[in-house]
Amino acid sequence: MLKGKKIVVVLPAYNAERTLKKTYDEIPFDMVDEVVLVDDCSSDQTVEVARQIGIKHVIRHEKNKGYGANQKTCYDKALSLNADIVIMLHPDYQYTPLLIPSMAYIIANDLYQVVLGSRILGKGALKGGMPYYKFIFNRFLTLAENILLGQKLSEYHTGYRAFSKKILEKINYHANSDDFVFDNQMLSQIVYAGFEIAEVTCPTKYFKEASSINFSRSMKYGMGVLGVSFSHFFCKMGMMKSDIYKERK
C-alpha cells in the first residue's frame, strides 16, 4: 500500500524463464501488494518458474494471443484484485523494478494518472545497448506522434508503464489490437480522453535474453504506430470516428 492505495504489478510474459526471477527479486515488496503474471503460451518453463518463486496470480493463455491480448488479461486481473495503481513491467529484466516506488508515488499523490519509464530521457537507450536502427525508428515515430497527438513526450514505445485505476476503468483497452501496436493505441486513448502523461528517466538493458522484435516486425509495428497517430488526429478533427476512443462500459 501507498497512501492507502493498493499497488499491483503485472508481468506480461513470453519465454521469460531465464530473466523472470531476476526481475521478481528486485520488486519492492514493502510497497507492492500483488504480482500478476500472464503467460502467453510460452514454449519454455516460464509458468513453472513463476510458481516456484512464489507468484500467487499466474494465468496462462492456452494459445498465443499476442502482446496486446496479454496486457488485456493483465489489466482485467489487476482490476479484479481492486488495484488502485497498476504497474506494467516486462519480466525480461530490460527495465529495473527499482523505479516502481517513483512511478507509484506520482500517481498516489494525484499528480498524474499515467507514468512512463522513458529510455530516451538521460540517454539510457543507446547507453543500454538499444540497436541504432531501433533508436532512429523510435525518434522518428515519436516526432510524428508528438505532432499528430499534440504532445511533447520523449517516447511512446517503452514497456514500463504505470496507470491509475481511473485510467483502466475509463479507457476502452479491449477495443485495441492484440499485437504490439496496443501500447500506442492505449496512449492515444489516454491523450484523447484529456489525461496528461508523466515520464521518469529509466535505464535499460539490451542483452540476448531480453525480448525484442526483429526488423520486419519493427517495420510492421512502425506502420501501425503511424496509422494510430493519423487516426487520432482525424478523430480529433471530427473527420472520422473510431471505437477505440469510446469510453469503456
In the prediction, which pLDDT does 210 show?
56
The verdict on residue 119 lying in a domain is yes
In the prediction, which pLDDT does 225 show?
95
If phi > 0 it is left, if psi is from -120 to 50 it is alpha, else beta; for residue 171 that is beta
Is pLDDT of 213 > 70? no
Instruction: Kindly report the CATH number assigned to the domain that includes residue 179.
Output: 3.90.550.10
The verdict on residue 197 lying in a domain is yes
The verdict on residue 205 lying in a domain is yes
What pTM was estimated for this model as a whole?
0.92
Q: Which domain holds residue 75?
A: 7-241
- Tens digit of each residue's pLDDT (9 = 90 or more) over 215-245: 777 888 999 999 999 999 999 999 999 999 9
* Confidence band of 211 (pLDDT split at 50, 70, 90): low
In the prediction, which pLDDT does 133 show?
81
Determine what percent of the chain is predicted with pLDDT higher than 90. 82
Which three cell numbers mark 57?
A: 496470480
Query: Using alpha carbons only, how large is the chain's radius of gyration in Å?
Result: 17
Is pLDDT of 50 > 90? yes
The verdict on residue 214 lying in a domain is yes
Going by the DSSP 8-state scheme, the letter that residue 248 receives in this structure is: P
How many domains in the chain? 1
- Tens digit of each residue's pLDDT (9 = 90 or more) over 145-190: 999 999 999 999 999 999 999 999 999 999 999 999 999 999 999 9
CA angle 124, 75, 216 (to 5 degrees): 50
The verdict on residue 2 lying in a domain is no
Q: How far apart are CA 23 and CA 193, in angstroms?
A: 32
Chain mean pLDDT for the chain = 93
Going by the DSSP 8-state scheme, the letter that residue 154 receives in this structure is: S
239 Cβ partners below 8 Å, 6+ apart?
none
The verdict on residue 246 lying in a domain is no
The verdict on residue 198 lying in a domain is yes
In the prediction, which pLDDT does 70 show?
98
- Tens digit of each residue's pLDDT (9 = 90 or more) over 89-143: 999 999 999 999 999 999 999 999 999 999 888 776 777 777 788 888 889 999 9
The verdict on residue 73 lying in a domain is yes
